Amino acid sequence: MCIVVCMVSKKASSERKYECHKCWVEMDKEEVETFGPNIVIDVCPKCNGIWLDKGELGKLLKDKKLSNYLTKHIGTKSKSPMICPRCANIMDIEKADDVEVDVCLTCGGVWLDSDELEELKAKSKEGFEGDKNAKLEELDEERRYKARNSPLNKFFRKFK
């Protein structure tokens, strides 16, 4: 990654900066080449953690299957102590085998510790398939949550 490009994009970008929720320092914007248009990701200068907005993980990994597995249908419960640096909502831990990443339950952004991007790339190369049963459980959790909170259900609860 070219330092000059980073400096330029830093100045040109009027986007607000995120703070690393581990080090509480401002993260740097870094422009990364993908197979499509370049994307700008946020990198912590202290711990080298990476923040990815929704959709950016797939572009970085060039693996939709793996990124969808980690960011879609992730349930409703939080197993992570982390707060989303983008929208300040709760996050959940999602696993690709032994690699654990934090995903925001609200905005779908992803936090990667310094070496997790490389670990995920390796998983992708191995042809990671994912744990279907774990995914079904989370899907079920979402369905139950939606059913509980449907307008019709709330209406009926009033009369109980």
The residues binding Zn ion (CB under 5 A) are 20, 22-23, 44, 46-47, 49, 84, 86-87, 104, 106-107, 109
Q: CB of residue 79 vs Zn ion: minimum separation in angstroms?
A: 16
Q: CB of residue 46 vs Zn ion: minimum separation in angstroms?
A: 4
Q: CB of residue 117 vs Zn ion: minimum separation in angstroms?
A: 14
Q: CB of residue 75 vs Zn ion: minimum separation in angstroms?
A: 15
Q: Which CB sits closer to Zn ion, 75 or 109?
A: 109
- Residue 27: partners with Cβ closer than 8 Å, 6 or more residues away: 17, 18, 19, 20, 42, 43, 44, 45, 51, 85
Q: Which CB sits closer to Zn ion, 7 or 23?
A: 23
Q: CB of residue 7 vs Zn ion: minimum separation in angstroms?
A: 20
Cβ neighbours, 10 Å, residue 127: 9
Q: Which CB sits closer to Zn ion, 83 or 139?
A: 83
Cα separation, 91 vs 144, whole angstroms: 19
Please give the structure tokens belonging to residue 106.
Answer: 């609200």
**Residue among 16, 5, 79, 67 nearest 38 (CA):** 5
Q: Which CB sits closer to Zn ion, 86 or 123?
A: 86
What torsion do the CA atoms of 147, 153, 158, 160 make, to the nearest 10 degrees? -80
Q: Which CB sits closer to Zn ion, 1 or 136?
A: 1
Strand partners, 50: 43, 112
